[in-house]
Amino acid sequence: MVKKKVQFARRLRKKQTPTETKMWALVRNKRLRGYKFYRQFPIGPYIADFCCRARKLVVEIDGGGHACSYHREYDLIRDDYLRKQGYRVIRIWSIEVEDNIDGVIEAILQALECESEH
């Protein structure tokens, strides 16, 4: 099962959305204040869009499909699971990555550097 999850994550990395590509360019290779991020990172039965393991932070980039009730419920269940594993989860709309990348980076940095939640 783990092998299949890793293979699926690898396929997701190869087929990332333009928004994920933009985000990855900003956080890869410790470009964001030295924090190491992984993309399409398996955590239990789920795959996080971006994960900083050292700070136990998951960053999810959500497109419009996440606005429908099915996805909202799925995301709540998923986020609950990730929190039980010790991760904090922040969700960012893909339109924010496109239109307000400075604000997105600031929100991620605040989450990374927030000691009270870590």
Residue-level pLDDT at 24: 94
Nearest to 92 by CA among 105, 74, 76: 105
Residue-level pLDDT at 61: 93
Token duo for residue 32: 């964001």
Angle, helices 101-113 vs 18-27, to 10°: value is 50
Token duo for residue 107: 């929100």
Taken in order of first residue, the domains within the chain and their CATH numbers are 2-113 (3.40.960.10)
Q: Going along 17-103, which residue ranges are E strands?
A: 38-43, 46-52, 57-62, 88-93
Please write the tens of the pLDDT for every residue from 69-99. 667 888 899 999 999 999 999 999 999 999 9
| Inter-CA distances, 37 with 1, 12, 98, Å | 24, 16, 20
pLDDT at residue 9 above 60? no
Please give the Cα distance from 105 to 97 (Å, whole number).
Answer: 9
- 12 or 98: which leads in pLDDT: 98
Residue-level pLDDT at 116: 46
pTM equals 0.82
Residue 2 class from Cβ within 10 Å (0-12 exposed, 13-18 middle, 19+ buried)? exposed
Residue 48: pLDDT band with limits 50, 70, 90? very high
Residue 5 class from Cβ within 10 Å (0-12 exposed, 13-18 middle, 19+ buried)? middle
Average pLDDT of the chain? Answer: 86
Percent of the chain with pLDDT over 70: 78
